[in-house]
Structure 1
Amino acid sequence: MSLRHVKPAGEAIFKDRYTTKAKELLTPWQKGLNYDFSVAGVPLSKPSISHSGASQAPGAIRSALQSYTTYSAESGVELTDPIIDFGDIYMDPTDIKGNQHRIYEGLSDVYATNAANHWMILGGDHSISYSSIKAHAKNRTVGVIQFDAHHDLRNTKDGGPTNGTPFRRLLDDSIINGENLVQIGIRDFTNAKAYQEYADANGVTVYTMNDVHQNGIKAILEEELERLAGKVDEIYMSVDIDVLDQAFAPGCPAIGPGGMDSKTLLEGVLFASENKKVNTMDIVEIDPTIDFRNMTSRVAAYVMLSFMKGKQI
C-alpha cells in the first residue's frame, strides 16, 4: 500500500522542477568516485579559548547550501558536478590532542584518495587548520592565504594547541615557511604586540583591515598570489569567519566591529580561487548555537559556492 501526498520526513522541501539547490550536489564518497570538488567536516571546537559550539558547524553549513541554487546569474555558470562528501572526522569527547592527530590522519587519507581536484574542509575552530595543512603539505611546498582578524600565532605554553595557535605551530614545526604565509584582515585591538613581532621576525606578510580598505582586496591578492605561485607547489586558503564584521557574522565566537563585509570576503575568495594553485580551502570559527537565522552558516555556504565558481569561470 502506498501513502498518498506523504513525503519522507526531512525531505518535505518545496521542489521547483527548474531549480537545483546547491545541497543536492552533495554525494557520499564511494571508492572510485572522481569529481572536481569534495567536502569533509572537522567538528572540533574544544580547543577554543572562548566558548564555542563550532563542532556543530559542518552540518549547519551543509544545510545552509539548501538556501542557494547552483546557477550563477553573474557569470552564466551552472554548477553541475556533484560534491563528494567524505562526512566528518571522528572526534573523541575528551581527547583534544588525540583529536588533532586524528584530523591529520583522517584528512591525510581523504587527500590521498585523489577523488577530487579541489578540497573544502569545514571546521570546527581554527585549530583544525594545523592538522589539515600538515596533511596537505606532505611531499609538497604549501603557501597559505589566511583571512582572519587574528594572527593565530599565540604561544603553546599558555593553553596548549588552541585555536589561537595553528599558524605558530605550523611555523615552529617547519611545515610552512613564514614567507609563504599571508594574513589578510588583521584587526585593531585584537592581537598582542608580541605576535606582530613574531610575524615580522618570521617573514609573515600581514595586511590589516586598514590595508584592505586602502588597497582593495583584489589588488592585495593579485600581488600575493603571484608571489606565492612562484615559490610553492600549492596555495591553501584558510577562511576564519571572524575576519567579518560582527554585523555579518553573528554566529562567530569572536565577533567584533571594524571587520570585513561579506561582499569583500566573497570577492576575495572568488578572485583567489581563480588561481590554478589554490585548490584547498578551510572555513572555520562558526558557532551555529549563537547564530541568528543561520546568517553565518549561509555566508560559509556562499564562500563554498564562490570557491567552486572561481574554478569554473
Structure 2
Amino acid sequence: MKVKVLGVPSDFGANRRGVDMGPSAIRYAGLIDKLKELKIKVEDISDINIPITRSDISKCQKLKCLDEIVVSCEALSNTVSEVVSDGYFPIVLGGDHSIAIGSVAGVSRVKESIGLIWIDAHGDFNTQKTSNSGNIHGMPLSAIVGKGVDELVNCGGFSPKVKEENTVLVGVRDLDEGEKRLLKESKLTIFTMDDIDRKGMYQIMKEAIRISSKDVEGVHLSFDIDVLDPLEAPGVGTPVKGGISYREAHLALEMLSENEILTSLDLVEVNPILDQYNKTAELAVELILSALGKRIL
C-alpha cells in the first residue's frame, strides 16, 4: 500500500473553534511513524491551502462560511483526485466534517463509482432548509448525494458523488427533526446506536460492507471521531452520550481492512482545545492504523 496524508485545517463548518488544529494534533500523536511501522509507504504532503478569512453568514443563504467551505472543498477535491490518480491511498485529516464533500468528490472524480460508509454520531443530512444553526458540518452527507444548495452539491463539477443505495450511515444517535424526515425519504441505509446495541457491531458492519461495496470500484470511509462515547473521545465539539466503545470502533475498522474495500478515508472533528492530553488525537491514530491493517496478532 502507498499512502499520502494531507490535512485540512478548517473549522468553517463547525459551531466551536479549535477543530482546525486537528490535523496537527493527529500528526503530533505519531501517525506518520506508526504507519511506517506497518511497512506502509507513506508520504505526508502537508495541509491544503484554505481561506484565512471567516464570514458569519453567506450572501443570500442561511449558511455560515459557505464561500470559504466551497473554496476549501474544491481545493481538497483537486488534491485528492491527483493522489488517487497517482495510485496512492489518501488519508485526509480534518478539520470539521464539511471537508468530506471535497474528499468524496476527489475520489469519485477518478473512480467510476464508489460506495460510502459514514460513521458518525450525527446524520449530517441537513440542508439549508432544515438546519437550525446554519453550520455546514451538519450538511456534507446530504450534499454528497445531491441535496442542498448548488454550491455544495456541485463541488468538483458533478453530482451526486455517491449513490444513496451505496451509502451507509453507522452509529447515529443525534438527529434534527427535519433531518430525520430527509433520511426517512432517502435510500440510505441507516444503523443507529439502537441497532448496534441490539445486533452488535460485527453484524452491522457486515451489512454496511455488503451494501456499500455492491457494484462499485471501492468504498470511501468518512469517520467522525464523535461517534465514540465522550468518555473515550473527549476532544470533540459536539459530544453525545451513549456512543460506540473503543473496541467497537476498532472492530469496525478492522473489518473494513480485512475486506479490502477501502479506496480512501477521512477522519474528522478532533478538537485539541477540548481534548485531554491529546487522548482523542492518539485514538484517531490508532483507528487509522486499524483501517490500514494493524492487528493484535
Q: Could you tell me the TM-score, scaled by structure 1's length?
A: 0.79
Aligned to 1:61: 26
* Equivalent of 1:228 in 212, 217, 226: 212
Distance in 1, Cα, partners of 2:225 & 2:11: 14
Aligned to 1:36: 2
Bigger drift between 278-287 and 154-163 goes to 154-163
Q: Which has the higher helix share?
A: 2
Residues 1:284 and 1:232: Cα distance change in structure 2 (over 3 Å): same
Aligned to 2:287: 303
Aligned to 2:139: 165
Give the greater-gyration-radius structure (CA). Answer: 1
Aligned to 2:271: 287
Residues 1:253 and 1:161: Cα distance change in structure 2 (over 3 Å): closer
State the aligned residue count.
268
| Contiguous gaps of at least 5 residues in structure 1 | 1-34, 72-77
Find out whether 1:142 has 2:142 as its counterpart: no
Match of 2:143, SS state, is helix
Bigger drift between 141-150 and 270-279 goes to 270-279
Find out whether 1:98 has 2:84 as its counterpart: no
Match of 1:51, SS state, is coil
What is the CA deviation profile of residues 104-143 of structure 1, one whole-angstrom value per residue up to 9, with x for unaligned ones?
A: 22222232222x2x32111111001011101100142111
Match of 1:39, SS state, is strand
1:112 is aligned with what amino acid? S
* Equivalent of 2:48 in 72, 89, 109: 89
Distance in 2, Cα, partners of 1:161 & 1:258: 23
Question: Does the Cα contact within 8 Å between 1:273 and 1:279 map onto a contact in 2?
Answer: no
Aligned to 1:131: 102
Percent identity among equivalent residues? 28
Find out whether 1:253 has 2:233 as its counterpart: no
* Equivalent of 2:11 in 45, 53, 67: 45
Residue 236 of structure 1 and its aligned partner are, at CA, apart by 0.7
Question: Does the Cα contact within 8 Å between 2:123 and 2:175 map onto a contact in 1?
Answer: yes
Question: Does the Cα contact within 8 Å between 2:166 and 2:212 map onto a contact in 1?
Answer: yes
Distance in 1, Cα, partners of 2:241 & 2:219: 29
What is the CA deviation profile of residues 161-200 of structure 1, one whole-angstrom value per residue up to 9, with x for unaligned ones?
A: 711111111111322111111011111xx21232222122
What is the CA deviation profile of residues 29-56 of structure 1, one whole-angstrom value per residue up to 9, with x for unaligned ones?
A: xxxxxx52221111111121x1131111
Distance in 2, Cα, partners of 1:182 & 1:310: 24
1:180 is aligned with what amino acid? N
What is the CA deviation profile of residues 281-306 of structure 1, one whole-angstrom value per residue up to 9, with x for unaligned ones?
A: 11001111111010100110001111
Aligned to 2:200: 216
What is the CA deviation profile of residues 250-280 of structure 1, one whole-angstrom value per residue up to 9, with x for unaligned ones?
A: 1000112111112111111111122222121
Question: Does the Cα contact within 8 Å between 1:41 and 1:121 map onto a contact in 2?
Answer: yes
Question: Does the Cα contact within 8 Å between 2:73 and 2:103 map onto a contact in 1?
Answer: no
Find out whether 1:201 has 2:185 as its counterpart: yes
Distance in 2, Cα, partners of 1:276 & 1:197: 34
